[in-house]
Structure 1
Amino acid sequence: MYVNAVRVRIRSSWWHWPLLAGLWVMAWHARKTEGFRGALLQRAPGRVLWMLMLWERPSHAHAFRGGGWHRRAMPRLLRLFDEWAAVDWEHAEEGLPSWGEVHQRLKAKGRFLALAAPSEAHRARDIGARVPADKRDGGRVEGES
């Protein structure tokens, strides 16, 4: 299995609801992508969103990122966020990892994207100490069987 995890902070609360609508569209596209196994989206205080996706193989994740809505939205998204850290890894287990593991991996090996208006924390490569609650019943997008 292959995991892709992202932590972002929305620059302005004005963008919060339009962004969540866009994420719904992205989730719909992900479910239809070959190799998609599941995803979690978790909101955290301070306009922070944590996203976690599970794929059968890296090639499936790359196909999703490089096509459709995700590819068209990326240039706009770089202007909406002031923090963006991402990490990918091979995952031996079938299920999604815990948010604690995601946080540790982001701190150790996270990539910080070049943003239009990065925050001080983003410039310092700091994702903070807060980890979202592991509410596995909320925010889940199931893969198709």
Structure 2
Amino acid sequence: MAFVSITRLRIRSLRFMPQFVVQTLRTGQQTKRASGFLGGSLLADRRRTFWTMTVWRDQSAMRAYMTSGAHLRAMPKLLNWCDEASVVHWTQDNLIVPDWAEADRRMRKEGRPSKVRNPSPSHRDLAYNPPRTTGAVPIKPITGA
């Protein structure tokens, strides 16, 4: 059994992009070294929109990652940086990283918006355009770290 976590973030202004990139690099390193991280992918979509997909041993491993280190420090900043943010989680029987079409389908059907201070008109209803599903970058765990 594996726990899948998908996030979708849209950065509301170019002025936040440099800080977002720095935080993404930091949280990316934390993710690769996190206990229980099995694999994932990062997708740079259109219009300053970014998706993350991570697969974990279980929900507790994901929560331990989420509530520590660089990720914990970055989360409050997203309240101001993003005008759209959403998340969806599910469990699955295999350890395979799902494809982006499945991530989009699940986000629309089962996802929920995250809190942002300056929501777009589409934020609450997850009424975003279909993502560009090519060009994703795999995230692989660093073993022995």
Would the TM-score normalized by the shorter structure come out above 0.5? yes
3-state SS of 2:123 partner: helix
For normalisation by structure 2, the TM-score amounts to 0.91
For normalisation by structure 1, the TM-score amounts to 0.91
Uncovered stretches (5+) of structure 2, i.e. residues with no partner: none
Deviation at 1:75, TM superposition (A): 1.1
Q: Which residue of 2 aligns with 1:144?
A: 142
Q: Which residue of 2 aligns with 1:45?
A: 46
Uncovered stretches (5+) of structure 1, i.e. residues with no partner: none
Question: Runs of 4 or more off by more than 4 Å in structure 1?
Answer: none
Deviation at 1:30, TM superposition (A): 1.3
CA distance in 1, matches of 2:91, 2:134: 21
Structure-2 change in CA distance of 1:83 and 1:64 (3 Å): same
Does structure 2 retain, via aligned residues, the 8 Å contact 1:37–1:144?
A: no
How many residue pairs align between the two structures? 142
Deviation at 1:78, TM superposition (A): 1.1
Does structure 1 retain, via aligned residues, the 8 Å contact 2:38–2:141?
A: yes
How high is the sequence identity, in percent, across the aligned residues?
A: 26
Q: After superposition, where does 1:57-136 map in structure 2 within 5 Å?
A: 57-123=58-124, 125-135=125-135
Deviation at 1:73, TM superposition (A): 1.7
Instruction: Give the residue type in structure 2 aligned to 1:143.
Output: P
